[in-house]
Homo-oligomer: A and B are copies of this chain.
Amino acid sequence: MTAIDSALSMADSARTRFLDELKAFLRIPSVSTESRYAAEVRRCAEFVAADLQRMGMERVAILPTAGHPCVYAEWLGAPGRPTVLVYGHYDVQPVDPENLWTSPPFEPTERDGYLYARGASDDKGQVHAHLKAAEAYLASSGRLPINLKFIIEGEEEIGSEHLPALIRAERTRLQADVVVISDGAMFARGLPAICYGLRGLAYWQIDLVGPRSDLHSGVYGGAVANPIEVLAHLLAALKDDRGRIQVPGFYDDVREISAEERARIARLPFDEEAFRRELGVAELFGEEGYSTLERRWVRPTLEINGIVGGFTGEGSKTVLPSRAAAKLSSRLVPDQDPERIGDLVEAYLRRLCPPTVSLTFTRLAAAQPVVTPLDHPAVRAAERALEHGFGRSPVYIREGGTIPVVATFAAELGIPSVLVGFGLNDDHLHAPDERFLLENYFGGIRTLIWLWAELGGLA
């Protein structure tokens, strides 16, 4: 029996235990954006480190940052063979509105072949597939076919603020030939994909203050500017009714995609009507002149992520509020820069904001967009590994989401990333009832066993 067969066989026989361990991982509420969960985030890092230690990885360490820590581990027993750096994140999004979850977000529950929990797909389930693929080799052969390094962070959901500094400080230890990341989706159930492009992110909060305290809307109404009304005017001015962003200069640095790439995207088996039904809307909406996939992958956005002001409880309160706030963010495409886009949005809002209210503009997160070259040998290896793992050739896709670290690896370590996601697009990421298809979890483990063999020249 080859090392591949031994590892595949070990992984197959350990399915029940692997799944139990994944559930334990998901039970830890590692919500990185809420300070009350800080101890749980730490406990989650310790969980990952302990598992890496137990399976035989070396130099396992919890690396402190100015925020939540990173988990590092390596196995360098294959001299002359390539070195792969696996990146993932153990932190998760908040769970609100919690009342919309069918089962509790931190009590992993199996239904219809899916595992439901916050972080099931984004990204604990996919990180766990990597841990278990390595364990399958180490437990069956005592070695891996390549040199392997793990860096699993705890701040991806809040913009990976402290990771770039850590990568700079640890550039020697982290050096590798390629980064492999599983923090995304296949094209469809049964159709694996290799992702070569990610959008960047710039996230802001705007706060408007009008009168110094809340006022009676009868006594004062009509005679003083209402901050919610001003906010509505500012937000409405961000986009026209055909979905075109109105911030001057916003599109200046957008690299238009080639006719070849547009044609390749158009050939993908994407069912727009099924997508519309899945979202439960009467009509889709987006920037005029682009297809739905183009709107999601290759065009920038400007979304309002949250808004609050005045009375929002039960019944009617006739208040003229003192303040209103909104959270906004842009998904960016090459060659847009999050800082420059922030400057443009802030300048536009300040120009539109009347003197009747005061405006505060706060920058909360930023990440560069990235496109990965398709001719790297690791990309071809991933294509063959996915054929083995899922029985079907992958398509090449881009993704609308953001993995800020991909740009950092390119800039700091000079290495490309190969993105092999095992999620699905309807995994309810960042939303109630997040889930992970169990056949993708196990298919992911098989794929990664093949990928390390392909990269090691053994397959």
Contacts and interface: CB of A to CB of B under 8 A. Distances in A.
A224 B284 contact: yes
A12 interface: no
B316 A364 contact: yes
Contact of A317 (B313, B314, B430): B430
A30 to B, nearest CB: 14
B314 A215 contact: no
A211 B318 contact: no
A428 interface: yes
Nearest to A325: B312
Interface string A164-178: 000000000000000
B306 A223 contact: no
A4 interface: no
A20 to B, nearest CB: 28
Contacts of A360: none
Contacts of A326: 228
A33 interface: yes
B312 A307 contact: yes
Interface string A159-195: 1000000000000000000000000010000000000
A295 B222 contact: yes
Copies of this polypeptide in the complex: 2
Given A229-B239, A430-B217, A307 B324 contact: yes
Contacts of A222: 243, 286-287, 295-296, 299-301, 303, 331, 400
Contacts of A96: 311, 313
Interface string A265-309: 000000000010001111111110000100110011101111111
B308 A321 contact: no
Given A33-B314, A218-B400, A318-B201, A285 B430 contact: no
Interface stretch (A38-46, A137-145, A230-238, A406-414): A230-238
Given A211-B279, A304-B310, A229 B221 contact: no
A238 B231 CA distance: 13
Interface string A310-339: 111111111111001111010100000000
